[in-house]
Amino acid sequence: MRVCAIPSGKPLYTFPGIASLNHMGMMGRENTFSMLGAGLKKPWMLLADFVYPPACPGCGVSVGAHRGLCPACWSAIRFIERPYCEVLGSPFSHDLGAGILSAEAIADPPIFDRLRSAAVHDGIVRDLVLSLKYRDRTDLAPMMAGWMLRASDGTVAACDAIIPVPLHRARLFARKYNQAAELARHIARLSGKPLLGTTLLRVKRTSQQVGLGAKARQDNVRGAFAVSEHRAADLFKRRIVLVDDVYTTGATVAAATRALKKAGAADVTVLTFARVVGHLI
């Protein structure tokens, strides 16, 4: 800004310089383009709603907006909230006090530092997982990621980076996308944290974990993960959030965590959308 002054030295009038005028002009154009884009986008969104009316992904009943659940499906979800085990995130039936660990966490401590999950893997939650994983419903990932961020108990806010559990390239080619990567991408977008999508690799083609027992799952994923030799510096002394869709026995995320910690990760939080829960403690 340049200033015209009267002999007393007091400012009489201010007016913008050339650089300021150019900046103001650029801001005006950006605002105009933004408003124009929003105006053009709205008719397309209305057309999309007309062709594909918003429906509950759980039961198919009409709802007010895409990626929204109807009241009945929403009320059927068992969100995992405190009280729960500080390490495994296993929900307790009643509050046992701060910092309480489950018997499983004490008897067989996991290699990862903590586990957090958004909801119990049953009913509508199981349907959401299957729709994202096998039915090409990647449009559900933003909603699911939002629930996961809320359930992360501050670990995403405190982490240095987010890493998805990777698929083997052969399975990725067959499925076309990695559901864990979709969730991780939206968590990174919502939180502003870096997404390291190529740091952890699945170097061994494993069998499907579905239907396998706990020991068979461990054997299946043993040595399945490795850190890219060019990306080890991404992990050294870093706090990592490892993202997957479902926690069942923990064999997959344990194997992935082992590779991350071998490369120097200081702390690994496992964050999943759902987890299998046998019974409340």
- Over range 175-203, report the average pLDDT: 96
Is the pLDDT at 4 greater than 50, yes or no? no
Same domain assignment for residues 24 and 103: no
Number of domains making up the chain: 2
Q: Is 73 inside any structural domain?
A: no
HEC assignment per residue over the chain: CEEEECCCCCEEEEECCHHHHHHHHHHHHHHHHHHHHHHHHHHHHHHHHHHCCCECCCCCCECCCCCCCCHHHHHHCCECCCCECCCCCCECCCCCCCCCCCHHHHHCCCCCCEEEEEEECCHHHHHHHHHHHHCCCHHHHHHHHHHHHHHCCCHHHHCCEEEECCCCHHHHHHHCCCHHHHHHHHHHHHHCCCECCCCEEECCCCCCCCCCCHHHHHHHHCCCEEECCCCHHHCCCCEEEEEEEEECCCHHHHHHHHHHHHCCCCEEEEEEEEECCCCCC
Which pTM value belongs to this model?
A: 0.80
Give the pLDDT mean for 175-192: 97
| Residue 172 shares a structural domain with residue 254 | yes
Considering the domain architecture, whether residues 175 and 122 belong to the same structural domain is answered as yes
Structure tokens at 45: 């969104």
Q: Are residues 41 and 104 in the same domain?
A: no
* 176 found inside a domain: yes
**pLDDT tens digits for 131-171?**
999 999 999 999 999 999 999 999 999 999 999 999 999 88
The CATH number that applies at residue 221 is 3.40.50
- Strand pairing class (114-120; 11-15): unpaired
Instruction: Kindly state whether residues 107 and 209 are assigned to the same domain.
Output: yes
Same domain, 24 and 83: no
Tens digit of pLDDT for each residue in 207-251?
A: 666 666 677 777 778 888 999 988 999 999 999 999 999 999 999
In a domain, 59, yes or no: no
> Considering the domain boundaries, does residue 145 fall inside one?
yes
Vertex 63: Cα angle to 135 and 132 (nearest 5):
15
Structural domain containing residue 110: 79-275
Q: Rounded to the nearest 5 degrees, what angle is found at the Cα of 263, between the Cα atoms of 106 and 218?
A: 50
Is there a single domain that holds both residue 104 and residue 228?
yes
153 lies in the same domain as 225: yes
Question: Which region, left, alpha or beta, applies to residue 218 given φ > 0 means left and ψ of -120 to 50 means alpha?
Answer: alpha
Which has more confidence, 14 or 92? Answer: 92
Residues 141 and 263 in one domain: yes
In a domain, 214, yes or no: yes
Is 100 found in the same domain as 24?
no
**140 & 224 share domain:** yes
Q: Among residues 193, 221, 227, 191, which one has the least CA distance to residue 207?
A: 221
Residue 66 lies in a domain: no
Per-residue pLDDT for 10 more than 50? no
pLDDT of residue 263 exceeding 60: yes
For residue range 18-67, list pLDDT tens digits in order.
Answer: 444 344 343 344 444 444 444 544 564 455 555 568 899 889 898 887 77
Q: Does residue 70 lie in a domain region?
A: no
- Residue 17's pLDDT band (cuts 50, 70, 90): very low
Residues 100 and 221 in one domain: yes
Mean pLDDT of the chain: 83
* Whether residue 266 has pLDDT greater than 70: yes
Is position 57 within any domain? no
